[in-house]
């Protein structure tokens, strides 16, 4: 059985492009979410993060899907493709969950997730994003129809109460 995805943290201690590229060459967000920790590097600016984006962008086209890639650095504002945090507590906690043996229900859900992952072609991002948008639109229509149905049911109930 496949393990539950957990953050893989890449700690970068020195400002050496070759060293950074050697650490980042194994990053693959199809398998796990990543945190690239730059807190020990002193001169992190927007250009530094853009360089990391450029290197990762050679093999990763979406830094959020299927699993996110986050940067933890001292930089306060950054408007690139990759999400930057300057405090570990701000990073979404979902993938920090403690290790435990999955129950039978979780194991079944995990098997379903694996089947769903295989249905998506992660290498064709545009087509995959289009499929996700189509699913979202269908779910939105269902949700709006359900709201309308509930409104009609409430209206019918009120009318019945009035005529009784």
Distances (CA, A) of 124 to 1, 81, 133, 147: 26, 18, 14, 35
Structure confidence by residue, pLDDT tens digits, 62-119: 888 888 999 999 888 888 888 999 898 899 888 776 666 767 877 777 777 777 776 6
pLDDT at 154: 93
- Whether residue 63 contacts residue 44, with contact meaning beta carbons closer than 8 Å, is answered with no
Domain ranges of the chain: 8-96, 124-163
pLDDT at 28: 83
- Whether residue 56 contacts residue 24, with contact meaning beta carbons closer than 8 Å, is answered with yes
- Whether residue 38 contacts residue 12, with contact meaning beta carbons closer than 8 Å, is answered with yes
């Amino acid at each position: 059985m496949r393990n539950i995805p957990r953050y893989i943290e890449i700690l970068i201690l020195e400002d050496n492009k070759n060293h950074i590229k050697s650490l980042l060459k194994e990053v693959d967000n199809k398998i796990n979410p990543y945190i690239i920790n730059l807190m020990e590097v002193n001169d992190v600016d927007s250009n530094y993060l853009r360089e990391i984006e450029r290197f990762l962008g050679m093999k990763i086209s979406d830094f959020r899907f299927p699993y996110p890639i986050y940067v933890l650095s001292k930089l306060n504002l950054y408007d690139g493709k990759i999400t930057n945090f300057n405090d570990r507590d701000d990073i979404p906690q979902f993938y920090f969950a403690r290790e435990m043996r999955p129950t039978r229900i979780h194991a079944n859900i995990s098997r379903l997730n694996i089947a769903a992952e295989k249905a998506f072609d992660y290498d064709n991002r545009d087509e995959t994003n289009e499929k996700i948008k189509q699913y979202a639109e269908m779910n939105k229509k269902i949700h709006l129809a359900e709201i309308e149905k509930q409104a009609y049911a409430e209206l019918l109930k009120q009318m019945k109460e009035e005529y009784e």
